[in-house]
Structure 1
Amino acid sequence: METKMFKTATTDLAAAAELIKKGQVIAFPTETVYGLGADATKESAVKKVFAAKNRPSDNPLIVTVANVEMVKRFVSEIPAIAEKLIANFWPGSLTIIMRYNEGALSPIVTGGLPTVAFRLPENEVTRQLITLADTPIVGPSANTSGKPSPTTAQHVWHDMHGKIAGIIDDGATAVGVESTVIDITTDVPTILRPGAVTQEALEAVIGAVNSEHRKVGADETPKAPGMKYRHYAPDVPVYMVTPDQWPAAIIWAQQQLEPVGIMATDEIIEANHLAGMDFVWSLGTDVTTANAKLFAGLRYFDERDDVETILVHHFADEGVGLAYNNRLGKASSGQYFDVEM
């Protein structure tokens, strides 16, 4: 299949929307990561997304909409708590799990569950695309399943060239990690995946919120992406490095026979005289910039045949650091650097 690169001009978006109407798959930008879009109401189109990603069939998909009216096509009513969240965080990087009308969506979208995850992205290009297609689209990350998520159109091209009909190039994403997922069908609203919208921000609007970042069992269907299968992982081992361990980690890296990729903050890089070195990837100044740069760095080293290990900065488990550490923890399988390893 030929994969076409689209710009963000209205004529390009209209052409991409026509392909979605015809049941094709188009990669689209959001403020978080790039997604794979297909008509959420056409089972044959959604199956193409699973095939392109090589995604397990019991992993539910997020339904991405252009406006709240699209959500109303699938639910009897929008609960009051959802209305508060929508008023405060949409458009934006918050995904809301609600109950939907039975039969309104294919079971392959919902994983056979009575709930579905809805998201209204901040990115105007994608909202315009969905409006032109006049249908909500599924929106998993536009990468091969299990690999680091794409934050540029070039990342998508690397994974999806020849597998999908088109890619809309809107430059690098701003947030860099996937949306926060909150389940409002539980007794207490529960965060199933942390993101840029923090627990503190949610609680300021709706009161008490639980946080559940567990990995579901082999026979259990996850309510949200990222709860069951391996995610974000390069082919080589990744180790998390706490700030106090960097001096020892850098000495260890320099002693290895094969190059070691180092992903650290500018402060760590400058303090250890690593600026400009070939095997160093800057995560910027703080956890916010690190979120935006994490996946790109993992992809950079994953595509290099000479790098055998990647060391990545670990931040405090607070605020948006929870989202960063969640993705890094999955990429590293929970492994921390140890000087004796």
Structure 2
Amino acid sequence: MNIETRLLEPTTEGLTTAADILRAGGLVGFPSETVYGLGGDARNDRAVARIYEAKGRPSFNPLIVHLADLEAVSRYAVLGDEARRVAEAFWPGPLTLVLPLRPDSGLSELVTAGLGSVAIRLPAHPVTRALLRAFDGPLAGPSANPSGKISPTWAEHVMTGLAGRIEAVVDGGACEVGVESTILACDPPVLLRPGGIPSEALEACLGVPLALGGDADKPSAPGQLLSHYAPGAPVRLEARARQGDEVWLGFGHDCAGAELNLSPSGDLVEAAAQLFHLLRAADVLAGGSRRIAVAPIPDHGLGRAINDRLRRAAAPRP
């Protein structure tokens, strides 16, 4: 499929056009506080199938459903007491909850990959929320990039990866958080993917330590595939210095000579926001013949999400 992809402004006119495209079964790239998503009507089998087609995504990998408000959640999922406590503390925001699916939800089975649960998020980005209100329905929205490649944090990243495959992209500027949402299953609480909400904050809310879950072979939530978020160049982690002609992606002030630095001051928030953008920049510098080396990242707070993405970027390619 090769279609004209329109770049829409986040105005009333632009969002109305985007909502009309979605209602007609089309696909729209949209901004969020985490990364850009690829939106389609979560009730429309054909629209969801087109998401998989546009991304080249394995059909066994479930999608996140984006909703405008907490009241809408009960139409599609069962929100227990524990899940509600977490939702009220962190929604809207970069948190996805995996909840029991209502049998009469009306969601496409392709969204849930045939599972009895559904991943739901209430995004905080004002443009996303305005689009959800204009569309007035559940929006399936994985990251708006070819499957397994670097996630997009600018509208131009979406255009580079998906132009000709989708109808439009709403340009909402750069994403603030820069890594995908944290994914949490409840009853009992299990961390399925680290992300924009640090696990320490979730543990403080729940009053219990989080178990770790996830299966790269049979994902129960998005972002669990072993090789994911990958640039074209091979990636070496924990690089305290450059080897040979590597492109060195630094972190902190001890990386003199690094071509790029996620945060010269060692700020994990800045590093998360810069991660995918600078991985793309490093891939360009690598030019198809050099390796990317990434400096060590502290493994706490947002550092856990950054390291999760880096480990998947460095994993053996399928």
Task: Please state which band the TM-score falls in when normalised by the shorter chain.
Answer: over 0.9
- Gaps of at least 5 residues in structure 1 are 335-341
Are 2:79 and 1:78 equivalent residues in the alignment?
Answer: yes
For residues 308 and 44 of structure 1, what CA distance do their matches in structure 2 show? Answer: 40
Deviates more, 1:113-122 or 1:290-299: 290-299
Q: Which whole-Å CA distance do the structure 1 matches of 2:213 and 2:115 have between them?
A: 19
1:116-156, Cα deviation, whole Å (9 max, x unpaired): 01000110101110111111101100000010100110110
Superposition map of 1:1-341 within 5 A = 1-75=3-77, 77-104=78-105, 105-184=107-186, 186=187, 188-212=188-212, 214-217=214-217, 220=218, 222-241=219-238, 246=240, 249-250=241-242, 252-253=243-244, 256=245, 260-269=246-255, 272=256, 274=257, 280-284=259-263, 285=265, 286-304=267-285, 305=287, 307-333=289-315
Structure 2 unmatched ranges of 5 or more = none
Deviation at 1:168, TM superposition (A): 0.7
Deviations 1:288-336 (A, max 9, x none): 21111111111123245255110112212212111110001111128xx
Tell me which structure has the larger Cα radius of gyration: 1
Measure, in 1, the Cα distance between the counterparts of 2:10 and 2:124: 15
Tell me the alpha carbon deviations over residues 199-231 of structure 1, each in whole angstroms, 9 at most, x when there is no partner: 2211221221423255433xx3x1111223520
Task: Name the SS for the 2:253 alignment partner.
Answer: helix
> What SS does the corresponding residue of 1:268 show, helix, strand or coil?
coil
TM-score (norm 1): 0.87
* Code of the aligned partner of 1:148: I
Deviations 1:66-104 (A, max 9, x none): 1112212113x4211121111110010000010011252
What is the one-letter code of the residue matched to 2:191? Answer: I
Distance 1:209 1:226 in 2: 22
Residue 267 of structure 1: SS of its match in structure 2? coil
Q: CA deviation at 1:180?
A: 0.2
CA RMSD of aligned residues (A): 1.6
Q: Output the amino acid matched with 1:296.
A: H
Between the aligned residues of both structures, percent identity stands at 40
How far does residue 172 in structure 1 lie from its aligned partner after superposition? 0.9
Q: How many residues align?
A: 310
Cα distance in structure 1, aligned partners of 2:140 and 2:17: 18
Given that residues 233 and 288 in structure 2 are in contact (C-alpha distance below 8 angstroms), is that contact kept between their aligned partners in structure 1?
Answer: no
